[in-house]
Amino acid sequence: MTASLDLTSDPVELTAALVDIPSVSGSEKTIADAVEQALRAQAPHLEVVRNGEAVLARTNLGRDARVVLAGHLDTVPINDNLPSHRTGSGDEELLHGCGTTDMKSGDAVMLNLAAALTEPRHDLTFVFYDCEEIEAERNGLGRIERELPEWLDGDLAVVCEPSNGSIEAGCQGTIRVEVRTTGARAHTARAWMGENAIHAAQPILQRLVEHTPRNPVIDGLQYREGLQAVKIAGGVAGNVVPDSCVVTVNHRFAPDKSAEQAEAELRELFSGYEVVVTDLSAGALPGLTSPAAAELVAASEAEPVAKLGWTDVARFAARGLPAVNFGPGNPTLAHTQHEHVRTAEIRHCAATLHRFLA
């Protein structure tokens, strides 16, 4: 039986209803069915399409601009944190449960707006997608881009990921590389007959220690790059000089740098060593100077900040849309057993987007 959602209810109540529908990545059918059924029944002004376990809805009013709002329906595995429950009261009331922060409170805000805004100032597209919390090749946005690309077109994208109720503009890119050394095996009792590949990694680590990260200002926002060794692997046995070593390095780069530039920079930094790229995603410029983005900033009544991590805003930026993160919840609580969200923040985000779009 499909769960029932009241899209006109308080967005806090709607968040609790969504949280109480388990939707671990790969198992989103029940929640997608509920979202689709609710949109078709309670938002007849929207065109609604189902794509796998994603649900898309949009207005077609012929407005001069279109805003795309996106949120994923899946969560990480449940960790003894369902059903939802509340603690505190007033401005300090908290809603607890898996997905409260990441990101069913954002989904609830979107669903509430979808039902309420029958005559928005901009045309609206709502994208509720699957499999965001697992490997990138299964991300529902990628499938939608391949099969229904026109549904991701617009003039501004708002990804309602947790951002503490503030606008986090754009996002940084990320690249992960393996820097490899080689040596020759020998018995440790006769170490002079071999070459220790782990010892040979010392200059790699020294270059990381001596590296000074960039901190560029883009559209008035301060970005902070990072370059860190995140793993080192090597060794054969307790009495063998190792003949190979791999240092894994992660670089978070500001969005004024392309993915190709980031890769070239790391290859130059580690010249003389074998460098293998294992993960690479471009960032997204903040784009706050676009008219629609400027309207959102004005409606938020708060200064935007730079997004230092990587999010799906980069997918939209690659399509030419300015993109921001804006949603309730503290991202540092995401994926934790004690995940929760301030109910006042859910209402704040709903009210802000309503001011922007109504």
User: What is the per-residue pLDDT across 20-79, written as a single tens digit (0 to 9) for each?
Assistant: 999 999 999 999 999 999 999 999 999 999 999 999 999 999 999 999 999 999 999 999
pTM score of the predicted model: 0.88
- Provide the pLDDT for residue 1: 65
Catalytic residues: 74, 132
| Domains of the chain with bracketed CATH | 11-170+284-357 (3.40.630.10), 173-281 (3.30.70.360)
In order along its 358 residues, the chain shows pLDDT tens digits of 677 999 999 999 999 999 999 999 999 999 999 999 999 999 999 999 999 999 999 999 999 999 999 999 999 999 999 999 999 999 999 999 999 999 999 999 999 999 999 999 999 999 999 999 988 889 999 999 999 999 999 999 999 999 999 999 999 999 999 999 999 999 999 999 999 999 999 999 999 999 999 999 998 999 999 999 999 999 999 999 999 999 999 999 999 999 999 999 999 999 999 999 999 999 999 988 889 999 999 999 889 999 988 889 999 999 999 999 999 999 999 999 999 999 999 999 999 999 999 9
SS3 string, the chain, reads CCCCCCCCCCHHHHHHHHHCCCCECCCCHHHHHHHHHHHHHHCCCCEEEEECCEEEEECCCCCCCEEEEEEECCECCCCCCCCCEEECCHHHCEEECCCHHHHHHHHHHHHHHHHHCCCCCCEEEEEEECCCCCCHHHCHHHHHHHHCHHHHCCCEEEECCCCCCCCEECECEEEEEEEEEECECEEHHHHHHCECCCHHHHHHHHHHHHCCCCCCEECCEECCCEEEEEEEEECCCCCEECCEEEEEEEEEECCCCCHHHHHHHHHHHCCCCEEEEEEEECCECCCCCCHHHHHHHHHHCCCCEECCCCCCHHHHHCCCCCEEECCCCCHHHCCCCCCEEEHHHHHHHHHHHHHHHC
- Provide the pLDDT for residue 3: 78
